[in-house]
Every structure is written in C-alpha cells, then in structure tokens.
Amino acid sequence: MDLSSNPLGSVEQDIHASPANELKRKVEEESQEPEMPPQKSQREYKMHEVHWVPEGNIILDIGGVRFKVVRSRLASQSMWFKYLFDAQTNGIPEDPPEDYDTNEIQMTLANSQYSDGLPLLFLDQHVDFPSHEEFAALLTAMDNAMPQFPVLQQILVASWFYRCEVYGDLIERMILDLYPDDPKLVGKKNKPFLVDAIRLARKNPCLRGLLPSTYYQLSRTSSLRTPEGGAGPGAEPLESLNPSELIVVIDLQKVLASSWGAIVTAFEGQCASSQAKCITQQPAIRAAVAALRASNLFDPVFAINNFFQKKPDACKSLCSPCYKLLCERLRTARADIWKKMKDITCPPEA
C-alpha cells in the first residue's frame, strides 16, 4: 500500500516520527541563528573568598565575582543600597530625593535574577560602577569597627615618622571624631585613654581640638575616691595626671560649677502673656533645675543637651515664646562654657 497517498498513513507517520524530526529541526534552526552572548546567569563566576556570608540573603555579582551579604546591614550603611532595595520592593518613587540616581537603580533592577532562591543583582551595568576589588574594600571597611584610640595612635605615630601625610590626616580626623563635644557620644571603649589623648594632642597642633572635650570628660568626675575609700569611677585616668594636667582639671571644674549660675538664670522668666501658666510653673521649674544641678555639678553640657533631647515635665506647660527664649539662653550658656574650656585648654601660643 502506498502510504504517501493515504491520509491516515500520513498522520500515523507524523505521530511516530514527529519527536525526532522536531528536535532535528530545532537544532538546525538554532545552528543557523547568530550566536547570542550567554546570559549573566550562565557566565562563569567565583564566590568572593572573604565576603560570602552564610546567613546572607542577597547575592551581588561584579564582573563574575559574587558577594553574599546581609541586605539590611548593607542598607543601613549605604543610602545607594537603601534606595535600591526600597525600589526593589516598592518601585521607583515618583518624587525621588536629590541624590537618587534613577538610571543606576533601574539598570540594576532590570537585570536582576535569582540564584539558589536568593535575589541576584549585577553591579556592573556601567563603567562608573566600582570594580569588585573596590567593592570588597568597602565591605571590609564596613565590617571592621572603628579602631580604639591606642590603635589609631600607633598608626598616627608611624605615619608621622614615615611622612604618610594623606594617611596621617585621615587618622587625625578619626581620632578627633572619637571625642566629640557631646559627652554622651564619647564611647566607653575610648574613655580609659583620655589622658593619652590629651598628651598626644599637646604634641600635635592638628589635634589641639581634642583638648576641650577630653579635659571636659576628666572634669566630669566629681571625686577620685568612693566614700569607702576605694577607687571610684574614672579614678584611674585622673590619678595618672601629672601636676600641671591636674591643675587644668581643677580650674575647669571651677568653671563648670560656676556656669550653673547662667543656666539657673536661663530658667527664670517673666511671661508677657496673662493667660499663660508659665509663672505658676516657676516653683516646679526651680526644683527641677536644682536637682539637675546637684547631680551634674561638673557636667553642665550634659545637662543642657539632655534638656534638649527630653524636655522636663515642669517645662512642658511653658508657652511657645517662653520656651523659645529658654532654649536660646541655654544654647548661649553652652557656647560660653565651650569658649571658656577652649581658652583654658588651648591658650594662644606665646
């Protein structure tokens, strides 16, 4: 029988032969098409030998080097990644901030994929993107906490000797950041090195800005000894002072204690409004200020800063003009304290 003339035979032949023929046809067609570059997910890659965190929840690929990191930690330290991850979840905002680079974020998200169930982002969409070496250096800096003062001091001394000026300038700024004007911002890990910081600052004019803050920290200590005769908090750094340094601390404590006069005066006011309750609050305010003075005699800057961060209950009923005037007076008193501190600790050179 001639199957070629039998429609049924043609159907049966197609049923049995179609899988092989179809596969052969696809292979022939693909071989005739121009070869396309492989997708990024098919490219060879290697995991970064350091920055591959087992508990990471996002993978970043830069030039075939992949980093597995914790998304929230990266976003907390980088506005660019914060914007990227927000856009990944919520889309590009209609009115983005000024530092929001829409093109970079769109390019990155447009090429995003998944790898082993985790988001895979390619951070090499443009020549301006950092290399994997540069990104790894940034991650290393993020992972390493700020060194404590002794380490920074060692680096600084070595950089001075070898005249590593650029690096020395960087370390100087880092040391200055360890001892800011706000007493609450001086970390506990660096408080034991106040005397060392003072002596380093006295050797280097570029670090003289340390002296008001570090001396203030020492002056906050109300006593060297506990009532039982043992060493009190902060006793060790104070007792290591030489006579000239101790004289400076004593002079500063006199200034700090006397500065409460201006602070107490700042809270005294005559309200111009007949309807306000400011006058009736004066006894409660005086009592609150007296308690604050008793507990912070040598720490007026801390007391003022604490007031701005948490308004005392006694001051919550003040009218707006009186409260504004009070804040202005306290800022003036605080600035005057720091001026006197600088005059004593950083006198003009003869």
* CA torsion through residues 295, 296, 302, 308, sign: positive
For each of the chain's 350 residues, which pLDDT tens digit applies?
444 444 444 444 444 445 445 544 443 444 343 333 344 446 788 999 999 999 899 999 999 999 999 998 888 888 889 889 989 888 888 777 777 888 888 889 998 899 888 999 999 888 888 899 989 988 887 787 778 899 889 989 888 888 888 788 888 999 999 998 888 788 777 888 999 999 999 988 899 999 999 999 999 875 433 334 343 444 456 778 899 999 999 999 999 999 999 999 999 877 877 666 787 788 888 898 999 999 999 999 999 998 888 878 878 888 888 888 999 999 999 999 999 999 999 987 63
φ and ψ of 73, to 5 deg:
-65, -40
Three-class SS of residue 231? strand
Cβ proximity of 255 and 333 under 8 Å: no
pLDDT number for residue 231 = 39
- pTM equals 0.60
Q: Which helix (H) or strand (E) holds 305?
A: helix 300-309
Closest listed residue to residue 211, CA positions, set 199, 229, 224: 199
pLDDT number for residue 188 = 78
* CA torsion through residues 207, 211, 217, 218, sign: positive
- In the beta sheet, which residues pair with residue 65? 46, 62
Angle at Cα 125 formed by Cα 120 and Cα 128, nearest 5°? 130
Q: Which helix (H) or strand (E) holds 326?
A: helix 320-345
Question: Taking the CA of residue 182 as centre, how many other CA atoms within 13 Å lie in the half-sphere pointing to its CB?
Answer: 9
Residues 6+ apart with CB under 8 A from 136: 48, 50, 51, 65, 67
pLDDT number for residue 21 = 53
* CA torsion through residues 74, 80, 83, 87, sign: negative
Q: How many C-beta atoms surround the C-beta of residue 302 within 10 A?
A: 17
pLDDT number for residue 181 = 85
